Structure 1
Amino acid sequence: MGGLGRVLTSLSVLAAASVGLAHPSSSPNALEKRADEPCKQVADSYEKQFAKDPDGPFFVSAELAHECLTSVPINKGDALRLVDGLTSFWKWQSTIDFLKDPPPGYLLPETDLVGELKKIREKVTKGEYGNEYELQAALSALARTTHDGHFGLQLDAASVFKFRRSRAGPLVSVSEDGKALPKIYSFYDLNATDAQFTPSPIKKIDGKDAVEWLREKSLEGNTQDPDALYNDMFYSIPTEANGGFGGFYTQTGVYTGPSVTFTFENGTTTEYENRASFKFPFTEIEDGKDFYKKFCSEELGKGYKKRDDSMEAAPVLEPRAGSKKRRPFPDAVVESKNGDVAGYFLDGDHGDTAVLSAYTFEGSGNDGSIKFQEAVTEFLTECKKAGKKKLIIDIISNGGGTILLGYDMFKQLLPDHEPNDAFNIRAHEQLDIIGTKVHDILNDNKETAADREERDGIYDLDSYVNMKGKKFKDWDEFYGPETVGNGYKFSHLARWDLNNKESSERGSGGIVVSGYHDRVNVPEKVFEKDDMVILTDGTCGSTCAIFTNLMQKAGVRTIGVGGRPREGPMQAVGGVKGAQVLTYQRIFQTASVVFNTYASDQEKREWAGTDLGEIYRTGKYILARTVQDGKGARVNYRNAIDPKDDKRTPLQFVYEAANCRIWMTRHMVKDMKPLWIAAAEAAFKGGYCISGSTPDLPRDDRKENGLFRPFSTSF
């Protein structure tokens, strides 16, 4: 029977009738009214849970959390101040022009950020938003239409609760035999210990075809490819290692409804209550007005607003011995300090194959980047000692991290190749003012504390080289701008100067990329590029996208796993392909330094009416209204570009299919080894690829396109 032992239970929270100091009325009607206030009910529940476990997280029903949010009044003046302040920040988004009219091949709808923001402003002016949450939900939904993992807008009220379908549990999409189209299952059902229980696929969700329901909900995600969006809804071991259980299981600020209903193929139907979790202190809150006062403050530095929005979910799998971070994985041959990267050896028929698994390029911890780099070096050394001939590079669920760690892993794997990539930056007045000023003060033969802060940073031209490997002589030579696309203005193409030790160490947690400067003498390659394959679920983005792009251009093949239940290809990289993220906090700090330290009185007057002046005047308020004082709001700063593309189309809009595609099976849900073996079979032994997923290129084109050994699509 589907949904074994998980029937809907009522967890409505009963509020205690108590008199709050901020509400002096003592009439019975007033007390009863306050007891009925949904935010007061949340506060009462928080108080009880806090007494048992002060660290949280704390839970209430999703319905109660939503009722609390929709009871929060909207302040029209504050709302207009918030909406008006976003436009100047959004002009830093590198793809904002292309999003209005995406190039051919982009698979998602267009979006006009500034135009739609004006419509939201009109609705605020007309009083058409009934509460603060309704406004913030509209703004957040607009931000999500970019499908850009670097473009985020975590607003204060909308980020208080995480809505969870946790009683229904994570979902998985698995094929019965690796060849049949996959079906949807409850992760809980596949892990049931009752020998008499047979899991049944989920046929419908809330009365709608399960696949179609998930496909529609997946569009609330932040990846730019339909298959990546679909995969992001499901549980996987790397996703759990990253602290999540899939987009179906939990969403921040997006209401899940009070419950979710599964109809199983065996005819049973089960309804599950949805929940909401939070970690912020719900103290001194009697109603929606108190909620607004506490969580929608214009003050920077509020303790509960500076907390990281992430939280640990209750573990789904039993902890295994060894690394806490990589506990769902097999035992590793080599593992970095925080588990970001690890290496494994396969056995049996694939005893010549190794696996390098990186589910993030974060480089976690004070010396995380150094430990990441060292772990890759150590593992390749162990591979050579053990005589390994093949390598699977597993980047499933890798959303990115420290930029230069991507370059470093590329150079360690292919030390005889140079990075063949490029970037450009959207040209706009704010960037021109900052870049010109920073360049001038760094070249005035003076050295101040402010200069040292900017030197070797993202506005210092010494951090970059042009496409010939030479330095730009001045800001204008870099900035241009040049006209691309439909009249869009961008800087000239550039690359990171990987020989700039100071820039590298400053921006990467202390490492210098292998093959450069004092790491120029790196070991010889251990694996030929024909004998390596990248395994991806398409959610790879940011630094992971940079790494994969470099490897693909060098001729390394890719295998995609999962995706929508249909034949045909999927992208290897479906996450954000932008080359760097920039937070609102960083933008505001730079604007403040330029105005307060570098600008003359005349320049301050001239810039007052510009977007940079707007950020300088109103930026603190915008930062205060976002998670972590502006770290929870961000833009994509630079586009990744194919150096050979004269049209300068951002890779974000360029479709590039993986060389092969395989399905997940039940055995792969709880154990990575069967997945790695399936990838090894497809890559190195002519194993099965989904029909239509392998490019059928003429033999003469295979080398140029990286298909050194075609994948098989036969049974």
Structure 2
Amino acid sequence: MGRFDAIADKIKKKTYKNQYELDIDINSIIIDTHEGHFQFAAGVIQIFQWILPDSLVTISSDGKAIPQVYTYSDVYNKVPNASPVVEIEGETVFNYLRNYTSRTNALGLVDPHADYNAMNLNPAYQFGISGASTGLSYYFNSFQSTYVYNGKSLKGRFANGTNFEWEYVAGSSANLTASGWLSGDSIYSRKIVNRQALSGRTDIDDEDVVPVPEEELPSLQNLVRGRGVTINTRATTSLTKVPFDSYPSSPDTKQDSFGFGGTVSGYILKDASIGVLSLPSFANGKDAPGPTFSDAVADFISKAKSANVKKIVIDLSGNGGGSVFQGYDTFRQFFPTVAPTLAFRTRSSDLTNTYGSFLTSVSTDSGRVFSQNYILAIAKTFGNVASLNSAFTTKTDGSRWSSWKDFYGPNDVYGDKYTNLGYYNLSSTLIASDLGQYVTGYGSSSTPKQPFDAKDIILLHDGHCASTCTIFSELMKVDGGVKSVAVGGIPQNGPMQGVSGTRGSNLQKLDLYSAITENIVEAAASFSNRDTFLKTTGLSTSAIQSLPKTLAEAPWTMTGGVNALDEIRLSSPNDPRQFVYEASNCRIFYTGDMVRDVTQLWIAAGKYANGDTSVCVPGSQDAPGSGRNKTVTDYPGFSHDEVWDKANSTAVPSVSGGGDQEDSSSSAGSAVRVGLAGVLGLAVAATVLL
């Protein structure tokens, strides 16, 4: 808490010159947790993005040589004798990217290799976000676009001595005009402060500002022209393919509303006898509900079986999660008779006990005290909040909890208190309602035959795999016996954790906790006999009085979330998966061909599935934590410093044919390579229509 105390001290001393400086300090704490479910957004930091006209990729010349950093445009356009990037803003490229991730990368990744991959252009990650959305036309990677201001331009140097400069262009995914965010004062009054909570303030002024006409703003299409990208103009309701040239033009399987909520696609690579299921997201929603996701997976499995492919590659590149139960259903489609054994638990606290006692007692009341309509409303809204409602979860032996206290514990683990371990009740009608269908093999759904042997399936990760993706990967590994391949990472030999996003199994937003508080307060006030309410819910007057304020009462507008459930492997019941080292079975380097044609990446993963270990980076095979049921809690890979330090030994050719990336100053001229933004004459103050 010392860093929060330091922020409070700076506020008292009026050290901050503006809101942005305060937001940066708060954001740095969020980044340093490396926990993707730990989220907080307030102030101005996420209103604007600063966008570069190009990005970086890190590729090996032959899949064996230590990779070098190149501009994406050089690799995509196959520029002859393209020179690696060796320096950015006066620092070695690796030192710059290392510092950059610590300042800007809020993805919550646990492995430095994953942090590094996030700095490189990644079509799967970008489509996993934009394709799952019904509003985003495009999504930039974490280096090409940032919420943290880094100056008007980015300057760097190539190994051949030439320089480049890319101008940043400001943009916003928000409709600034419709939001009324047209000046510092209007942003403060409409975005930062909670107008409802501060309705009596007289110093909140809405200033009238004339917006810039849209026709004068640079377009998103101009920013990505010549980069192998097709912008989703939202003129249709489904795309024909993933909108990057590196993806095949004709998927054999495609989810409904593809690119408009749907992201599942499948490919049969006949010459290689490989079937590829691309899952860049587990998200579902109104425009692409759960059944369309499940149907696409089933369609792919059917077509792969009909084609008699030898191996299946499940590409989870860029997958940041989505619906928890979509992950369970996808696992069951590949292993329909295998019962999932991944457990969960939550931290025990007075507030957890208050919330859980209330929700569970209402959900199990059967109309004795609460009305049936209220019970149904609570069940529909909070029934699947497994951390706070034991009415719809089970013990690890499948039996039901007798009460909230039966689940709550608490148990002492490493000096903290936690609940007992639990499972989701996958036969629950609430889960079926949430997913839009029963999980395969549960309830009224049928149980198909297992389509492929575990040895014929390989998982492909790039480090982004988070939340539901980690649940699916854990089930496939431990319960299914499937191996995995990781791709990319910091240029060095050795292992990599492919599953490096948050391994917490449930994100809960602050507004959910706020809503529970409101329900408790309102329900308590509605009872004429308060003792009846307290006895039924197991609450006390002091517990109700100790509830936190709701978001509506906060002086600032804010959103956020926390990880509500640990992922727990039964063989290691005290160790959350978030805090163990879990290398993939094999690691491969990206090549230029893979960047231009993703099928080359899939073929490489398929080779490993076929037993060809020559594709693996030296020192990466069967590394610590890669075993089916191994738990490693002490490994050097945990150290970001130790892993990053090795990147600086990467050798690159100089003009004279020797030297390394720290000593490649032989100059071939002082030409300044200005990016597309410079050609278009875009000023940093411009706003891009995203």
TM-score by length of 2: 0.77
Alignment of 1:94-109 (within 5 A): none
Task: State the match for 1:263 in structure 2.
Answer: 157
Q: Partners of 2:571 and 2:576 in 1: how far apart?
A: 12
Equivalent residue for 1:37?
none
- Bigger mean CA offset, 134-143 vs 315-324: 315-324
Partner residue in 1 for 2:500: 574
Whichever residue aligns with residue 270 of structure 2, its letter is: D
Q: Is the 8 A contact 1:340 1:364 kept in 2?
A: no
1:95-115 CA distances to partner (integer Å, 9 max, x unpaired)?
A: xxxxxxxxxxxxxxxxxxx34
- The residue that corresponds to 1:494 in the other structure is 422
- Is 1:241 the counterpart of 2:144 in the alignment? no
Moved more, 381-390 or 673-682: 381-390
State the alpha-carbon separation in 2 of the partners of residues 397 and 609 from structure 1. Answer: 44
Per the alignment, residue 415 of structure 1 pairs with 336
CA distance in 2, matches of 1:299, 1:608: 26
Match of 2:101 in 1: 218
| Residues 1:333 and 2:265 are matched in the alignment | no
3-state DSSP of counterpart to 1:229: helix
Number of residues of Structure 1 aligned to a counterpart in Structure 2: 563
Work out whether residues 364 and 391 of structure 2, in 8 Å CA contact, stay in contact via their aligned partners in 1. no
Identify which of 454, 467, 490 aligns with 2:378: 454
- Asked if 1:131 is matched to 2:18, the reply is yes
1:427 to 348, 353, 358: 348
Q: Match of 1:362?
A: 283
Q: Once the 2 structures are TM-superposed, how far is the Cα of residue 514 of structure 1 from its aligned partner?
A: 0.5
Equivalent position SS for 2:42: coil
**Match for residue 620 of structure 1?**
552
Letter of the aligned partner of 2:185 in structure 1? K
User: 2:466 corresponds to which residue?
Assistant: 541
Q: 2:4 aligns with which of 117, 130, 135?
A: 117
User: Residue in 1 aligned with 2:589?
Assistant: 663
Residue 312 of structure 1 deviates from its aligned partner by 7.6
Gaps of 5+ in 1: 1-113, 303-310, 707-715
8 Å Cα contact 1:389/1:527 also seen in 2:
no
Letter in 2 for 1:467: T
Q: In the alignment, residue 567 of structure 1 is paired with which amino acid?
A: N
Mapping of residues 301-316 of structure 1, within 5 Å: 315=224, 316=227
1:638 to 565, 583, 605: 565
- Partner letter of residue 200 of structure 1? S
Residues 561/386 of structure 1: CA separation in 2 closer, same or farther (3 Å cut): same
Q: 1:319 aligns with which of 217, 230, 238?
A: 230
Q: Which amino acid aligns with 1:475?
A: W
Distance change (3 Å), C-alpha of 1:312 and 1:155 = farther
- Deviations along 1:342-367, whole A, 9 cap, x unmatched? 1111122x12x211110000024344
After superposition, residues 362-381 of structure 1 pair within 5 angstroms as 362-381=283-302
Measured at CA, do residues 386 and 428 of structure 1 come closer, stay the same or move farther in structure 2, by a change above 3 Å? Answer: same
Shift of 1:637: 0.9
Q: Offset at 1:622?
A: 4.1
Alignment of 1:382-393 (within 5 A): 382-393=303-314
Secondary structure in structure 2 of the residue aligned to 1:213: helix
Give the one of 149, 172, 176 matched to 1:281.
Answer: 176
- 2:187 alignment counterpart: 291
Give, in whole Å, the separation in 2 of the partners of 1:703 and 1:594.
Answer: 44
TM-superposed CA distance for 1:325, in Å, is: 5.9
Contact 2:487 2:588 in 1 (8 A): yes
Matched residues in 1 for 2:180 and 2:507: separation? 36
Shift of 1:608: 5.5
What whole-Å deviation, never above 9, does each CA across 1:575-629 have from its counterpart, x for those lacking one?
000000011111111111111124666878524652x2x223xx21449512xxx
2:276 touches 2:315 (CA, 8 Å); kept in 1?
yes
Q: Is the 8 A contact 1:400 1:544 kept in 2?
A: yes
Secondary structure at 2:45 match in 1: helix
Structure 2 unaligned residues grouped into runs of 5+: 131-138, 200-218, 233-237, 535-539, 632-690
Give, in whole Å, the separation in 2 of the partners of 1:671 and 1:138. 40
Judged with a 3 Å threshold, the aligned counterparts in structure 2 of structure 1 residues 130 and 464 are, in CA distance, closer, same or farther, namely same
Deviation digits for residues 66-88 of structure 1, max 9, x if unmatched? Answer: xxxxxxxxxxxxxxxxxxxxxxx
After alignment, is 206-215 or 235-244 more displaced? 235-244
Q: Which has the higher contact order (CA 8 A, sep 6+)?
A: 2
Give the Cα separation in 2 of the matches to 1:138 and 1:320: 34
- Aligned to 2:154, the other structure's residue is in SS state strand
* Structure 2 counterparts to residues 630-709 of structure 1, below 5 A: 630=559, 633-646=560-573, 648-686=574-612, 687-695=614-622
Does structure 1 residue 606 correspond to structure 2 residue 542?
Answer: yes
Letter in 1 for 2:418: F
Provide the residue aligned with 2:60 in structure 1: 175
Alignment of 1:519-598 (within 5 A): 519=445, 521-553=446-478, 554-598=480-524
Shift of 1:260: 0.8
**Which string of whole-angstrom CA distances, capped at 9 and with x for unpartnered residues, describes residues 603-659 of structure 1?**
78524652x2x223xx21449512xxx3xx11111111111224x221111110000
Change (3 A) 1:207 1:299: same
1: CA distance, partners of 2:593 / 2:394? 48
CA distance in structure 1 between the partners assigned to 2:590 and 2:401 by the alignment: 48
- Decide whether the 8 Å contact of 2:193 with 2:555 is kept in 1: no
The CA deviation at 1:703 is: 7.7
AA aligned to 2:269 is L
Identical amino acids, percent of aligned pairs: 29
RMSD in angstroms over aligned alpha carbons?
Answer: 2.8
CA distance in 1, matches of 2:264, 2:417: 39
Q: CA deviation at 1:685?
A: 3.9
Q: Deviations over 1:184-221 (max 9, x none)?
A: 1111222337x7x5421101011111122112222342
